[in-house]
Amino acid sequence: MLDIKLLRENPDIITNSLMDRQAPKETLELIEKISEKDRQWRKIKFEEEELRGERNRLSRAINEKKKAKKKADTEIKRSGEVAKRIKEISQETEMLEKGILEQMLGIPNIPDKSVPKGKDESENKELRKWGKPGKKPKDILSHYEMSKQCDWIDHERGVKLACHRFSVLKGPFAKLEGALIPFMLNVQTQKGYPEISPPYLVNTKTITGTGQLPKFADDQYKIEDEDLWLIPTAEVPLTNLYAGEVLDEKDLPRKVTAYTPCFRREAGAYGRDIHGLIRQHQFDKVELVKFAHPERSFKELESLTKDAERILELLEIPYRTIELCTGDIGFSAAKTYDVEVWIPSQNTYREISSCSNCTDFQARRANIRYLSKDGKMEFVHTLNGSGLAVGRCLIAVLENYQEDKKKIRIPKVLRDYMGEDEIKFSP
């Protein structure tokens, strides 16, 4: 959430950032609606202050007249009128504050000045590449084609058990997915991210803290008749671990990691990636989260992105890293790097990690602060990134390590976890 003071003092900064983000008209209109409510709030708060001062003066006058055994009927009557109006103002301000908060929650973060301007993903900036793609579509079977040849990716039973965009992994492919998870966690814990095992269900306050609610409610799974939501990413419980708490400046940056399943309705992705495991309603992910000092958060973003990239380097799978432009950056992010892995069957790179610095945007929503050396309370900066998306990493291994359309060579770093060097999938 943005600071209301910024809207009061420099509303053009917010308006310009929304235009850079290609925000819809209704979001731009929120700025004036919030400003009008804020003007009303300040006006009646000023009236309240004046009335409280008058009430104090009346109270003194009443006491003095009573001591002098004089009548104070006029003052008592006026004091009652003032008290009634103060109560009315309290109710009005409460309603205005609620309305301002609800509308402020719909305003996205302001992109950092370093973020390139652009209308959509076509204007994202490629920063670097690692490795050289060695496989092309003609060289391999796609993971979806493999599912038709062997029974280790079962889309039909996934649909039977749940619905479209659910799958069942079996045998060696389930084992390979299971090997990727501890491998990723071990790499990241060695990088100083203590492992957390959080709940997979969170309450409304928690999922609002990271920005999924209220704007993206349609993409979330809600538990009927309970104040619980399935997590769309471990970013939600990890970032909110310290909601409402005050951290010590000397403990920053504080880092955590977690493996969790993730649940997304993908309401805005209808018709995209309908075959295979690329876009599922349930998928596994290892998440990285940092709580950083504001002066060092962008440096921490660079190292967090490197930590995500390291997984693909150890797996020896080609990838590239891009910087998202203003028109493609996420709601809560001030700056984002996407790590994209090479998918041979699609002859392109696909996102496998999105690493973002959310500055104080989430910290304001979740009230996560730190005590500075000079005794001031300040909001931390929160960062998050996948380290990595397990399902897409599985696809990358199945396709990049495929040989003669008959077997999968196991990456060296996974062989101890798998207990074997290859998977044959063709008789």
What pLDDT shows up at residue 269? 62
149 and 93 housed in the same domain: no
Report yes or no on whether pTM surpasses 0.85: yes
What's the rounded Cα separation, in Å, for the pair 391 and 169? Answer: 10
In the predicted model, what is the mean pLDDT of residues 11-37?
Answer: 96
359: left (phi over 0), alpha (psi -120 to 50) or beta: left
What's the rounded Cα separation, in Å, for the pair 312 and 413? Answer: 11
Domain presence at residue 112? no
94 and 126 housed in the same domain: no
Q: From the CA atom positions of the chain, what is the Rg in Å?
A: 27
Per-residue model confidence as pLDDT tens digits over 162-193: 999 999 999 999 999 999 999 999 999 999 99
- Give first-to-last CA distance, the chain, whole Å: 56
CA-to-CA separations, 367 to 210, 215, 235, in angstroms, rounded: 11, 19, 16
Q: Which domain holds residue 85?
A: 4-104
153 and 79 housed in the same domain: no
Per-residue model confidence as pLDDT tens digits over 355-381: 999 999 999 999 999 999 889 999 999
Cis peptide before 388 (omega within 30 of 0): yes
Q: What percent of the chain has pLDDT over 90?
A: 93
Chosen domain end from 54, 78, 104: 104
What pLDDT shows up at residue 45? 95
Neighbours of 160 (CB within 10 A): 11
Provide the domain count of the chain: 2
In the predicted model, what is the mean pLDDT of residues 276-284?
Answer: 92
252 and 157 housed in the same domain: yes
* Residue 43 belongs to domain with CATH number: 1.10.287.40
What's the rounded Cα separation, in Å, for the pair 355 and 170? Answer: 31
75 and 145 housed in the same domain: no
Work out whether the CA dihedral 229, 284, 380, 245 comes out positive or negative. positive
Query: pLDDT band at 382, cuts 50/70/90?
Result: very high
- For residue 71, the Cα-to-chain-centroid distance in whole angstroms is 64
Task: Please name the helix (run of DSSP H) or strand (run of DSSP E) that holds residue 282, with its range, or none.
Answer: strand 282-292
Q: Which amino acid is at 64?
A: E
Domain presence at residue 232? yes
86 and 211 housed in the same domain: no
286 and 372 housed in the same domain: yes
- For residue 201, the Cα-to-chain-centroid distance in whole angstroms is 16
277 and 393 housed in the same domain: yes
Q: Say if residues 347 and 135 touch (Cβ distance below 8 Å).
A: no
- For residue 225, the Cα-to-chain-centroid distance in whole angstroms is 25
151 and 282 housed in the same domain: yes
Per-residue model confidence as pLDDT tens digits over 289-334: 999 999 999 999 999 999 999 999 999 999 999 999 999 999 999 9
Q: Say if residues 308 and 195 touch (Cβ distance below 8 Å).
A: no
Q: Say if residues 77 and 15 touch (Cβ distance below 8 Å).
A: no
| Token pair in block for residue 425 | 């999938």
232 and 290 housed in the same domain: yes
Domain presence at residue 157? yes
What's the rounded Cα separation, in Å, for the pair 133 and 400? Answer: 8
Q: Say if residues 342 and 349 touch (Cβ distance below 8 Å).
A: yes
In the predicted model, what is the mean pLDDT of residues 127-131?
Answer: 98
CA-to-CA separations, 35 to 77, 80, 262, 288, in angstroms, rounded: 36, 32, 37, 36
Domain presence at residue 115? no
Query: pLDDT band at 149, cuts 50/70/90?
Result: confident
Work out whether the CA dihedral 268, 290, 305, 359 comes out positive or negative. positive
